[in-house]
Structure 1
């Protein structure tokens, strides 16, 4: 689970890490620190190294300039408010979760098969998914309990 700041918002490091996790190259591989830093240097004309980006990602540095954050937002194609506004960050975070889920091939297959279904059919699919999710959650809890009980 992402760490949060004192006010309950996600830390800067977690926000940046989430962008790296969800926003990928066309071949679905993650962007490198060097690649992102180079693009940020080119867009701002300011110093922006891969090491500096790593420090931001890991929380070792947490006070970048506004221009640096705007460059990161531009690279990852999110509004700069993602870094500055807690409500906006939460909304964008939810959108990123959806994008992350859509990267999953199984989710894509289900979504593509649902195209063209009536609203009632989509409701039925949603209900079925809810039932399966509850069943899997129960099974997962039972499995954890069995593993815990089997541990000496």
Structure 2
């Protein structure tokens, strides 16, 4: 269970909403996703039910509901499970979300031409900065 009480399923669904956007960059709404899932499954799937899944208030959707969510967000159904494949997909989504940030995208594009050693140096620098910022947040 996550620190915020949502659990893995809620976290994973929430990550989809944060990361996978409409073509115009706007996030998807609970209502539009629920409507698409209703149409895909022919089963009851309300915006409230989706909100409950996102927040961890419900955590046992049907297989068809998970498949409909996976289809809508274009991820494999395995994404929703806490296992190696689901974790890998979640990491890839987190990377995609970070790449949407223009600054990160610029750095990534510039890093394409670096040697493996250069990329290692950049990675070490990022880790050092992340540790320093984490310490600073802990001191607040």
Gaps of 5+ in 2: none
For the residues of structure 2 that align with 1:19 and 1:60, how far apart are their CA atoms? Answer: 17
Gaps of 5+ in 1: 5-9, 148-152
- In the alignment, is residue 124 of structure 1 matched against residue 118 of structure 2? yes
Structure-2 residue corresponding to 1:20: 17
Correspondences of 1:1-152 after superposition (within 5 Å): 3=2, 11-84=8-81, 86-115=83-112, 117-118=113-114, 120=115, 123-131=117-125, 133-135=127-129, 137-138=131-132, 141=135, 145=139, 147=140
Comparing both chains, which one has the higher relative contact order based on Cα–Cα distances under 8 Å and sequence gaps of 6 or more? Answer: 2
Please list the CA deviations of residues 33-57 of structure 1 after superposition, one character each: whole Å capped at 9, or x if unmatched.
0010011111111111101101111
* Aligned-residue offset at 1:125: 4.5
* Aligned-residue offset at 1:12: 1.3
Change (3 A) 1:53 1:125: same
Structure-2 residue corresponding to 1:150: none
Question: TM (normalized to structure 1)?
Answer: 0.76
* Alignment RMSD (CA, Å): 2.4
Question: How many residues are treated as equivalent by the alignment?
Answer: 137
Task: Specify the structure having the higher radius of gyration (Cα).
Answer: 1
